[in-house]
Structure 1
Amino acid sequence: MTDGSLPADAVGTDRTAGVVESVIREMTREARREDAINLAQGIPDAGETPDAVEAAAEDAIATESQYTITWGLPDLRGAVAERYAEWKGVEYDPETEVTITTGTSEAIMSTMLALAEAGDEVIYFEPVYESYIPASQFAGATAVPLDITDSLELDYGELEAAAEDARILVLNTPMNPTGKVFSRDELERIEEIVFEHDLILVTDEIYEHIVYDEDYCSPVEVGDLADRTVVCTGMSKTFSVTGWRVGFCLAPEYLSKELRKVHDYATICAPTPLQRAGVEALSLPDSYYTDLADAYERRRDRLYEGLREAGLDPVKPDGAYYIMARYPTDEDDVEFCYRLVREAGVAAVPGSSFYTDPDAEADWVRFTFSRNESTLDEAVRRLRENRWW
């Protein structure tokens, strides 16, 4: 191909300026290049998806391979509304208040593009899942990150001050990467701030069924927060189908009708056979969710102890399937992670990728325990035997 490219200053926009590729996905590619164990991206091993859910998808491929209604398969929207009424005690109209999206990330992106205007301020707590940062920028909004790294406790005075000029508060619970689960007391205080300052709450609850040691409280279960909240969740983590890209977006009609405008033109609809499998997934008994959390709790404890034995300093999470761990060298976190892949054969994510400021100092990395126990054991063995720290 001849070099007929445009000058560098003639392409790109303010919406994309400074946005870099996902560090998490780059570490996955690095793991593949180096034949390392991928504890960077939350991808389960084969065999984790329930058999009945896989079978439903396979059956649907033969009969349901065309578009669904843009908002999603009616049977799935009905199943989502029914299940979330049981789980959260909130009634959502499947016709107007439930939207099936192409993954939770699309739900968040569509919501941000629909509800944040240029110059609006968007609050989130850091360290934060990296997707919220470009989502805010693509919407033309101004990010207002509040750092809770050290204690994982909220500074309500700081939140109040930030809320004065803000439009949206993003709340990820359980939280990626820290595993923090917001308590009812915290959510009740957040409710007061949301209503006092007329905020819209956008929640990412994709790990809602992966919680340890305490009962999970969804923000929409607290007071009148459901009236101001867009819930973004989906199938990926709960049913170990991260590549299927089937998300659920639940919100009052006045919010849903706006985000649906973006969803309609961005993706048309989520994959039809996999939506059909979602109906089967949501019919699983309550014991499935208990067993899921128990299985991940065992893996959490296994990796936590393994990281300690390998000379790292992990923090045990209350939810999700990630562990933050500090390392005892003077290397920056990116250098440490690349060296970890190449010399120890294990991939992790640099902590700095979870901050808005690209120069943020982070002396920690994130590991996932979404893998099975034998994979985790092999990763720990490699860390112990190849450590330089």
Structure 2
Amino acid sequence: MEGKRTLDRAIGSRRTRGVSESVIRRMTREAIANDAINLSQGIPDEDETPPAVKAAATEAIAADSQYTITWGLPELRAAVSERYEDWKGVRYDADSEVTITCGTSEGIMSTLLALCDEGDGVVYFEPTYESYIPAIRFAGGRPIPLDITAGMEVDADALADAAGGASILLLNTPQNPTGKVFSPAELDVIADVAADEDLIVVTDEIYEHIVYDDAYRSPVEVGDLASRTVVCTGMSKTYSVTGWRVGFVLAPERLSAELRKFHDYTSICAPTPFQRAGVTALSLPDDYYDGLRETYEARRDRTHEGLLDAGLDPVKPDGSYYMMARYGTDEDDTEFALRLVREAGVATVPGSSFYADGEADWVRFTFSRNEPTIEEALSRLDENRWW
């Protein structure tokens, strides 16, 4: 570019102002640069993917690599409809109410872009997954955080007050980063508030099969929430295929028709071979999901024990494969996380990335990795601690 005139104007749209890069992905790059064990991004090891699902994808690459219908492969939409009726007790029409997206994140983004108007309030619970706040801002919405850090419980009065100025409620259960599972009583409160304020509810249920609490319920099983809810989920976590980018969005036809407009013009369709493999994944027997829960529960317990032994203060989650932990120094969370990856060889995520105001006193670990990797990470933490 030498010799060319540079742009003499502000760069970046209003939508991107105030939005920074993903901290989670930054910490993955830090892990690579420092040859550290990556416990920052929720990436399982390759051997976690069911062999039959990988084989189905391999076969599909040779046979079917062109576009599917924009809304998704008909066979996959039918399988999603059937499975989710079994799992959640709600029947979604495969043709008009099930959309296959490029991952759950695209499903959430398309939903917010389609259903959130400029200035609309969007209620969500903090700490929250870091992409929700930029997604709300990209859609022109007004973030309304409800901090549940203390006690990890929903305050009914606070929720009602916040919802009075909102049009959408964004809910993640089991929750990333805390692993909180919203209780049946809390979901009842959410259902009542959503009805009173006529809210659209957007749920991220990507960890729906990684739960350790028998009280777990999908929000659409509660009251009449299904009639006003967009469910965003997919293959990434349940089948350990985070790079395949196949999401499922289930919603009443009126809501689906709107979000499909954004999906159509931004993504066209999710990767065809991986959609084909999704049909195989959804045909796995019920004991697959029992085994998934059991293996992650064992890793959760070992990670919790190991972090305690290393002098940290972890909070044991009821779902997902993340664990928040406090540390005993005066460093801010970003400084602590960077020292951890560079000096102890373990990458984690500073907790501030999960809050709108960017302040926190804890970090997030993932236990999505296999047992030997987790053991090595715990050993490094114990041997290299300065806290």
* TM score, norm. by length of structure 1: 0.98
Q: CA deviation at 1:84?
A: 0.2
Q: How does 1:117-136 map to 2 (within 5 A)?
A: 117-136=117-136
Matched AA of 1:254: R
Q: 1:366: which partner in 2?
A: 364
Partners of 2:356 and 2:248 in 1: how far apart?
Answer: 26
Partners of 2:110 and 2:295 in 1: how far apart?
Answer: 33
Which segments of 5 or more consecutive residues in structure 1 lack a partner in the other structure?
Answer: none
Which segments of 5 or more consecutive residues in structure 2 lack a partner in the other structure?
Answer: none
Secondary structure of 2:245's counterpart equals: coil
Confirm or deny: 8 A CA contact 2:313 2:326 kept in the other structure.
Answer: yes
Q: 1:152: which partner in 2?
A: 152
Partners of 1:353 and 1:265 in 2: how far apart?
Answer: 30
Q: CA deviation at 1:207?
A: 0.1
Partners of 2:150 and 2:377 in 1: how far apart?
Answer: 27
Partners of 2:121 and 2:337 in 1: how far apart?
Answer: 32
Matched AA of 2:273: P
Matched AA of 2:145: P
Q: Deviations over 1:164-198 (max 9, x none)?
A: 12010000000000100011111111101001000
Distance 1:198 1:227, change over 3 A: same
1:271 and 2:280 are equivalent in the alignment:
no
Q: 1:5: which partner in 2?
A: 6
* TM score, norm. by length of structure 2: 0.99
Q: 2:379: which partner in 1?
A: 381
Q: CA deviation at 1:10?
A: 2.1
Secondary structure of 2:24's counterpart equals: helix
Matched AA of 2:52: A
1:60 and 2:54 are equivalent in the alignment:
no
Q: CA deviation at 1:216?
A: 2.3
Runs of 4+ with deviation above 4 angstroms: none
Q: 1:242: which partner in 2?
A: 242
1:50 and 2:50 are equivalent in the alignment:
yes
Matched AA of 1:307: L
Q: 1:107: which partner in 2?
A: 107
Q: Deviations over 1:355-386 (max 9, x none)?
A: 1113x2x1100000000010000000000101
Q: Deviations over 1:1-30 (max 9, x none)?
A: 2263323x5221211101000000000000
Partners of 2:204 and 2:33 in 1: how far apart?
Answer: 31
Q: CA deviation at 1:97?
A: 0.1
Confirm or deny: 8 A CA contact 2:115 2:258 kept in the other structure.
Answer: yes
Partners of 1:5 and 1:62 in 2: how far apart?
Answer: 46
Q: Deviations over 1:308-361 (max 9, x none)?
A: 000000000000000000000000000000100010000000000001113x2x
Matched AA of 1:198: D
Q: Deviations over 1:215-238 (max 9, x none)?
A: 420000011100000000000000
Secondary structure of 1:317's counterpart equals: coil
Partners of 2:27 and 2:101 in 1: how far apart?
Answer: 26
Q: Deviations over 1:58-109 (max 9, x none)?
A: 0000111000000000000000000000000000000000000000000000
Distance 1:164 1:213, change over 3 A: closer
Confirm or deny: 8 A CA contact 2:181 2:213 kept in the other structure.
Answer: no
**Root-mean-square deviation over aligned CA pairs:** 0.8
